[in-house]
């Protein structure tokens, strides 16, 4: 049996004040996007801001449904909005933050597996890596330069 080590590189900042300016601005947009969330069932809001190559910022929030499996995550909500409003303008970065109705989340909440897959497809479609900036309501910020750093052994259209 051979063993293979996969190294993933995450940037970690103790708080948002230490972030590069562009990342901090996008995170502020993500915080504003929390107001777009419709999360009456979980009370867990997710705010996302997607930056396009030409500098447009598209916001999205999670959209829940009484039929629970129909819930749409904030990440996919923002990517769908960007693909609709700026179909020729690839997303280059996404900031993601969360807010719980009953407690303070003080660590980054990583995107769910389904959203990682969708972000990965978006990267492949536009041949453009997407920088991801993650922060809870407060606390440290984690950044990666591509979603592939959050998704080892990812599935891609190249298999099909």
**Known catalytic residues?**
75
Q: Distance (Å, rounded) from C-alpha 29 to C-alpha 48?
A: 8
Out of 13, 44, 126, 154, name the contact with ligand THU by CB under 6 A.
44
For ligand THU, which is the closer residue by CB, 31 or 53? 31
Tell me: does residue 134 bind ligand THU (CB under 6 A): no
The total of other beta-carbon atoms located within 10 Å of residue 147's CB is 24
- Determine if residue 17 is left, alpha or beta; phi over 0 gives left, psi from -120 to 50 gives alpha, anything else beta: alpha
Provide the sign of the torsion angle of the four alpha carbons 91, 96, 44, 121, taken in this order. positive
- Exactly one of 19, 26, 34, 46 binds ligand THU (CB under 6 A); which one? 46
- Candidates 23, 29, 75, 123; binder of ligand THU (CB under 6 A) is 75
* Nearest distance, CB of residue 21 and ligand THU, angstroms: 26
CA nearest neighbour of 53 among 17, 86, 97:
86
Considering only 34, 39, 58, 78, the residue that binds ligand THU (CB under 6 A) is 39
Nearer to ligand THU by Cβ, of 32 and 53: the residue is: 32
Confirm or reject binding of residue 74 to ligand THU (CB under 6 A). Answer: yes
One residue of 16, 52, 62, 120 binding ligand THU per CB under 6 A: 62
- What angle, 0 to 180 degrees and rounded to 10, lies between the N-to-C axes of helices 113-126 and 74-85? 20
Sequential DSSP letters for 3-35: --------EEESSGGGS-HHHHHHHHHHHHHGG
Chain contacts with ligand THU (rule: CB under 6 A): 39, 42, 44, 46, 62, 64, 71, 73-75, 111-112, 115
């Amino acid at each position: 049996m051979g063993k293979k080590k996969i190294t993933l590189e995450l940037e970690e900042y103790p708080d948002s004040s230490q972030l590069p300016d562009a990342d901090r601005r996008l995170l502020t947009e993500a915080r504003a996007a929390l107001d777009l969330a419709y999360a009456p069932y979980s009370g867990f809001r997710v705010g996302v801001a997607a930056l396009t190559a030409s500098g447009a910022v598209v916001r999205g929030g999670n959209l829940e449904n009484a039929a629970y499996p129909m819930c749409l995550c904030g990440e996919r909500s923002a990517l769908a909005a960007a693909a609709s409003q700026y179909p020729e303008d690839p997303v280059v970065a996404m900031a993601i933050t969360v807010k719980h109705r009953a407690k303070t989340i003080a660590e980054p909440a990583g995107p769910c597996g389904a959203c990682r897959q969708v972000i990965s497809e978006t990267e492949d479609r536009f041949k453009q890596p997407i920088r991801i900036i993650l922060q809870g309501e407060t606390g440290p910020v984690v950044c990666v330069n591509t979603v592939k750093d959050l998704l080892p052994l990812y599935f891609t259209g190249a298999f099909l």
